[in-house]
Structure 1
Amino acid sequence: MSLLPEQAQRALKEEDWLVLDQYLQQMLTVQSTQVVTTQPQLTGQERWGQSLTLALQVLETGDFQAQWEVAKLLPGFGERAISPLIELLYDLDTDEEVRWFAARILGDFRHPAVIPALLELLQSTDAEELRATAATALANQGKQVIPVMQDLLQHPETRPAAVQALAQIGTDETIPLLIPLAAADDVAVRSLAVEALSQFRDERVVAVMLPAIADPLPEIRCTAIQWVCLRSDLVNSHNLVAVVGDRLWDVDLAVCRAAALGLGRLGTDAAALLLWQSLQNPVTPLPLQQAIVQALAWIGNTAALEYLSQILAQPNCDPALRSDVLLLLGRWSEPALQTQVADHLLEFAHNHAWATDPAMRAAIALALGQLGQAVAIAPLITWLADTDVKVRLHAIAALKQLNPVEVKNRLTAIAHQTDLSAETQQGIAIALQELGMKDLTS
């Protein structure tokens, strides 16, 4: 049912924001001449103007949720909403939150009056949130505001906001403006500039990111490492493995982890060797060790597999790290090495003391199932009689991921043996049930 303008006015007085929102949506979705009214002397344009006034009143007096909802509707009133929104923007007596909404809404308009208004706000306000919103709104105007941003970069008080705006514009035209700022003394500006440049795969950015790997600010070092390690085409020409590898010994753990993961993305044997050497260092903290094994798994070649296997062979390996390695081995993506991975896992299961831990056996069973290699069927069947219920369940789950015909044949052959222990008979019976096969042990 259509709402009447009088109902909307009453809802405003009673602060019934839901009714007002419904009315305003009604005005924006039906022809204004079709709106029911008890004021027939009003034209459609007049009713439209009344609705805009109501919307602005909600913006000024409503609670945050009402403001949020009406902010989505105001652009629907078109250019006639721009002038009153600019007035709110300039009114220093208006609540800062209202001005914040006004700036945000104006960013949705492509109109000549919007850019100067937002520019004035950005230059005149000391409120950081207002300034940031004005910068974002200006960025929404696209490439046309780049010359404006160039002027704002000349002033220390507006430079951070201008850099943010350039980052959001995100076009190649912003690169020449951002490059000098990546060497700025102001840490905030420098960080913003490097972060903004990191979105570009442009040769001009290489000269910024390589020195930034050694920047005094850890966040910048991380950003630069992440960027260069996505450029495998630069590995040889800029000796990236050595440059990034040096950061494995950084004083900041986050940078060390970024370097480890970056080397994993570069994916060379030399990168794998540096990761292994860092892992062997007795002072390497566990979080970095965990990043290193993840990186080795990403590399995924024979050398990386051997390094991960050596980790499992170490009796003093942290249990959390060992669990990570087992999980990663189960997800090995290189098909040519999956049988070799399964062989390694089975060797560890049979010949290493740590595999007596039920949690480790369960993890090996899970990994064997994920690899899907037939060589794992027989050992997994033996684990159906394991004393630990978690190991038995993981063995069943693993068998369900292997070749069903071969698993069925193996289980059937074993089920007919007469010398099975009670535990083995029970395990096979449960496995057959889980696998949807008839119990052959009875």
Structure 2
Amino acid sequence: MKSQFGIFTTDTHLVVRTWDAWLERVTSRSAADICGRRLIEIFPEIERRGLVAPFHRALQEGAVELLAPALHGYLIACPPQIDTSRFRQMQQRAVIAPLRDGPAIVGLVVTIEDVTARREDEMEGAKSLASEDWVKRRQQVERILAEPAETPVTELINRLRKEHRNTSVLNSVLQLLASGVWEALEPVVGLTGDNDAEVRMYAALTLGDMKDRRAIPALLRLLGDADINVRYHAIEALSKLTASEAVDALADIAESGEFFLAFPALEALAAIGEPRVATRLLRLLDNEMLRAAAIGALSQLGDHATVAPLVSMMDRPYLAAIVAEALTTLHQRYEDQFREGQYVADLAAQHISKDGIRNLLDSLNTTTGKTLRMVVRVLGWIGDESVMEGLTRLLGSSSLRSEVVETLIRHGARVTPLLCGQLESEDLEIRRAAVAALGRIGDTECVPALIRTLRDPELTVDVAGALARIGDARAYEPLLALLAHDRAAVRQAAIGALNSLGHPQMLEDVQRLLKDASPQTRESAVRIAGYFGYAESADLLLDRLHDASEKVRRAAVESLANLQDHRVFTALITAIHDESPRIRMAAAQSLGQLENVAAVLELVHALEDSDAWVRYYAARALAQIRSPESIDALAAALREDNATQVRIAAADALGAIGGRRAVSILAPFVDFVGHPDALHPIRSALRSNDDSRRLDAVRAIAARRDAEAAEALQWTAAADSNESIVEAAMEELARMATPESIAALLRLSADRRLREKAIMQLSRLGPAHLAHVAAGLSSPQLETRRSAVEALGRMKHPEASEILTRALDDDRPEVRLTALLAIRRLGSLASERKLLQIAHSDPDPGVRAAAEQALQR
């Protein structure tokens, strides 16, 4: 029985945009009457029946919503199109799907299928199937089997064939076919053989959007289609599917020089990420039309052998910035994958010509944004004097300053004179950047210039920090003079710098300054004396507990914990009863640092202090002491304190103390993740709609470090839609580093979406886990074996390199090729005899070529 079928679309406000002929007929409402009006204004019953929510979910969440006739009966009320005594309204199966323009949802496409006849037959058939007469039951089954299996897919395919020149119908049909609501792959593949080139083109477009790798063979056939538009969309679809099977055909298209197709072919090769075609793309650097696109693809696919050819392109002025982008991308890839980004930088500096340097410097005046930052980064790899001068002039650019500073720092003391010159700049931010760079470089030649700059009130704190990094004794007296400064930030910076200097004159000066008339100076001196714990200053430091200035007294209380003196404990016990809450707070902190059990009683009393922050620091101190005697008081604080920070600190303290009693107290407040009973709620949390709850669950379940945790984290990484949660799950699997978690990462590497993330985590495991990573070489999954090879290659460990040679005997050329590329990258890791054997006798030409390149390294 053939289905009846209609389509309408809306915008994001549910204003109807299209209304097809079938809907006009069955509702008796014309498109002119319907379009431009809100759906729920035209059909208010939809809202009354509670059917608006699926529309909102589709708009807000991108979900495809199904309204089944058994539950909802119908979406839009209209009379049945057949004679029926059972139904007063047409029975409808409605599908509501998001209508997209790229990633953005711009509206909805809704299909309505008339299933009245089907529902009539189902109800009649239910009686026959329940009959005691076996003949009637068999007749009903035969009748059901004899019915044509036409579905909405069939009608959508028919519409695509007949109405593909109607843009509103076309867009709706394509998105419905790709939505996944129906099994549409085979019918759409069938369209690739249609006589109409436009239908074949739209079939290719849809197959790419369906993200089903079973479509790859059909798309590969379309690469040979007579119509250039069909071939173009087949290339784009293969790119979306990251079809490694297509790389040779795509490389052929790129090399053909056919302008309209070569560009998308190069983009597809970059997206697929199969490095073995990089050497073929090097030839395209001689093609003026394709040169820029080839450079971009090589940045994604090339290795160190592509650096020199890329750098040579900088001799052409218009390509300098483009090559800089490519080199920084390649540099970042090497850094992420092998921690060898510097190797790419060194090769670039080695091969760049004077013309290339000049063109790069000139591009500073013609590029902006991200590209300009990349140009700066590449210039930073080059040690030329003119480059350094050019870069220092860019310190005034707020968008480039951090990049320039990092670049200059890498060149060390040789840029000190240039940076010292910038200390005289009229631009405050240039002066600030120069100070920061000089401090990080640490060249003592700049100390006199920095001391002069201490007088700059805007930069005093920055300069003190830079001098602290450098640690030159010439800065001692100027810094000492800042201890009386009226700005607390300056005093703190000077204290930090003096602490880092550790000058031999410090003790004598501190003892003098502890008696200074200035309270700022006394406070500073107390903090320095406390930092070093000078025994000679103990009496003076204890005297400051009675200072007229509360800030000085507080500094003294905070400093006592570092003083090895029998009077300290008594002094702190006295201080915790001080009338000032700031002093009591400081006393609680210092008692925690002493970790003396004798302080527990006083700290328990402090949990009842009138000041919430005193209670907070008392709980923190009890966490440091970890005495079971404090459990009851901490439990009371957890249950009853009205300050959130106190309750959190009490919970932390109970967790630090541990033991059965502490766990039983914490149980009502937190999941005890190690307990078997905790697994179910944590698994449930992994399916929560709340992103933060799922993230917490990932971290909680990883703490179990068992097989069930590894399984749950693998599921989360594979299924979660939030990228940060996926990454967290994979990071936790690597952090667990158990056989089960490593096996889970290997399994995840078979998923092309997760392959790179999984390889990165596997490659960062230490040599102790080599055997578990190498187990991936025995996987029945091709992609898992390739990922294991790639991870071993990135480990740069002798044993890992040795294991790589086993992959040269894999029965699949893709694995052998991946192993050879890794061996070529790492150097002499396999015997020349083995490589010669592969170069001469491997059945795959690509593998033989890779072996020859490895021999020539």
The TM-score, its normalising length taken from structure 2, stands at 0.36
1:295–1:96: structure 2 CA closer, same or farther, 3 Å change rule?
A: same
User: What is the deviation of 1:216?
Assistant: 2.1
Alignment partners' CA distance in 2, 1:361 and 1:122: 71
User: What is the deviation of 1:293?
Assistant: 3.4
Alpha-carbon contact 1:213-1:222 (below 8 Å) kept: yes
Secondary structure of the corresponding residue to residue 184 of structure 2:
coil
User: What is the deviation of 1:364?
Assistant: 1.0
Alpha-carbon contact 1:104-1:134 (below 8 Å) kept: no
Alignment partners' CA distance in 1, 2:112 and 2:476: 67
2:791 matched to which residue of 1? none
1:320 matched to which residue of 2? 394
Secondary structure of the corresponding residue to residue 385 of structure 1:
coil
2:687 matched to which residue of 1? none
Alpha-carbon contact 1:241-1:270 (below 8 Å) kept: yes
**1:264-343 superposed matches below 5 A:** 265=331, 267=344, 269-275=346-352, 277=354, 278-280=356-358, 284-286=362-364, 287=366, 291-297=374-380, 299=381, 304=382, 306-307=383-384, 310-313=386-389, 319-320=393-394, 327-328=402-403, 330-331=405-406, 341=412, 343=413
1:422 matched to which residue of 2? none
User: What is the deviation of 1:55?
Assistant: 5.1
Alignment partners' CA distance in 1, 2:214 and 2:491: 69
User: What is the deviation of 1:244?
Assistant: 1.7
Alignment partners' CA distance in 2, 1:170 and 1:206: 16
Alignment partners' CA distance in 1, 2:67 and 2:188: 31
2:455 matched to which residue of 1? 385
2:490 matched to which residue of 1? 431
User: What is the deviation of 1:115?
Assistant: 1.6
**Paired residue for 2:42, among 14, 23, 41?**
14
**1:360-371 superposed matches below 5 A:** 360-368=430-438, 371=440
1:421 matched to which residue of 2? none
| 1:440 pairs with 2:521 | yes
1:100 matched to which residue of 2? 171
Secondary structure of the corresponding residue to residue 286 of structure 2:
coil
Alignment partners' CA distance in 2, 1:231 and 1:268: 12
Kindly provide the amino acid, as one letter, of the partner of residue 14 in structure 1: I
Percent of aligned positions with the same letter in both sequences? 16
User: What is the deviation of 1:51?
Assistant: 4.0
**1:78-93 superposed matches below 5 A:** 80-92=151-163
Alpha-carbon contact 1:118-1:138 (below 8 Å) kept: no
Secondary structure of the corresponding residue to residue 183 of structure 1:
helix
Question: Once the two structures are superposed, what CA deviation does each residue of 1:62-113 show, in whole Å capped at 9, x if it has no partner?
Answer: xxx9973346999xxxx94423433432342884123212112212334355
Alignment partners' CA distance in 2, 1:142 and 1:192: 20
**Paired residue for 2:92, among 19, 33, 50?**
50
The alignment yields a C-alpha RMSD, in angstroms, of 5.3
Alpha-carbon contact 2:67-2:93 (below 8 Å) kept: no
1:274–1:66: structure 2 CA closer, same or farther, 3 Å change rule?
A: closer
Secondary structure of the corresponding residue to residue 103 of structure 1:
helix
**Which structure is richer in relative contact order (CA contacts within 8 A, separation 6 or more)?**
1
Alpha-carbon contact 1:327-1:367 (below 8 Å) kept: no
Question: Once the two structures are superposed, what CA deviation does each residue of 1:180-210 show, in whole Å capped at 9, x if it has no partner?
Answer: 2112242011111122122345464134211
1:403–1:95: structure 2 CA closer, same or farther, 3 Å change rule?
A: farther
Secondary structure of the corresponding residue to residue 312 of structure 2:
helix
User: What is the deviation of 1:434?
Assistant: 8.3
Kindly provide the amino acid, as one letter, of the partner of residue 183 in structure 1: E
Question: Once the two structures are superposed, what CA deviation does each residue of 1:382-430 show, in whole Å capped at 9, x if it has no partner?
Answer: 53432xx7xx15x5357569969x899888612258xxxxxxx56x665
Alignment partners' CA distance in 2, 1:69 and 1:96: 15
Alignment partners' CA distance in 2, 1:292 and 1:285: 8
Q: Which runs of 5+ in 2 are unaligned?
A: 1-26, 28-33, 59-63, 80-84, 114-149, 332-342, 497-518, 524-857
Alignment partners' CA distance in 1, 2:311 and 2:243: 32
| 1:231 pairs with 2:296 | no
Alignment partners' CA distance in 2, 1:402 and 1:18: 72
Alignment partners' CA distance in 2, 1:245 and 1:211: 15
Q: Which runs of 5+ in 1 are unaligned?
A: 1-5, 60-64, 418-424
1:83–1:258: structure 2 CA closer, same or farther, 3 Å change rule?
A: same
**1:254-265 superposed matches below 5 A:** 255-263=319-327, 265=331
| 1:115 pairs with 2:181 | no
Alignment partners' CA distance in 2, 1:55 and 1:247: 52
Secondary structure of the corresponding residue to residue 69 of structure 1:
strand
Alpha-carbon contact 2:205-2:237 (below 8 Å) kept: yes
Alignment partners' CA distance in 1, 2:112 and 2:316: 51
User: What is the deviation of 1:361?
Assistant: 1.3
Kindly provide the amino acid, as one letter, of the partner of residue 393 in structure 2: P
1:439–1:216: structure 2 CA closer, same or farther, 3 Å change rule?
A: same
Alignment partners' CA distance in 2, 1:412 and 1:81: 81
1:180 matched to which residue of 2? 252
The TM-score, its normalising length taken from structure 1, stands at 0.64
Kindly provide the amino acid, as one letter, of the partner of residue 394 in structure 2: A
1:169–1:72: structure 2 CA closer, same or farther, 3 Å change rule?
A: farther
Alpha-carbon contact 1:108-1:137 (below 8 Å) kept: no
Alignment partners' CA distance in 1, 2:467 and 2:195: 63
Alignment partners' CA distance in 1, 2:278 and 2:164: 48
Alignment partners' CA distance in 2, 1:374 and 1:410: 19
Secondary structure of the corresponding residue to residue 92 of structure 2:
helix
User: What is the deviation of 1:231?
Assistant: 0.8
User: What is the deviation of 1:441?
Assistant: 9.9
Kindly provide the amino acid, as one letter, of the partner of residue 157 in structure 2: I
Kindly provide the amino acid, as one letter, of the partner of residue 125 in structure 1: E
Secondary structure of the corresponding residue to residue 174 of structure 1:
helix
1:249–1:310: structure 2 CA closer, same or farther, 3 Å change rule?
A: closer
Alignment partners' CA distance in 2, 1:82 and 1:148: 19
Kindly provide the amino acid, as one letter, of the partner of residue 147 in structure 1: P
1:112–1:272: structure 2 CA closer, same or farther, 3 Å change rule?
A: closer
Alignment partners' CA distance in 2, 1:13 and 1:177: 54
1:396 matched to which residue of 2? 461
2:738 matched to which residue of 1? none
The structure with more radius of gyration: 2
Alignment partners' CA distance in 1, 2:421 and 2:188: 72
Kindly provide the amino acid, as one letter, of the partner of residue 166 in structure 1: L
**Paired residue for 2:312, among 230, 246, 256?**
246
| 1:220 pairs with 2:248 | no
Alpha-carbon contact 2:212-2:241 (below 8 Å) kept: yes
1:137 matched to which residue of 2? 206
Alpha-carbon contact 1:136-1:165 (below 8 Å) kept: yes
Kindly provide the amino acid, as one letter, of the partner of residue 90 in structure 1: R
1:32–1:382: structure 2 CA closer, same or farther, 3 Å change rule?
A: farther
Alignment partners' CA distance in 2, 1:409 and 1:201: 56
Structure number with the higher strand fraction is: 2
1:409–1:69: structure 2 CA closer, same or farther, 3 Å change rule?
A: farther
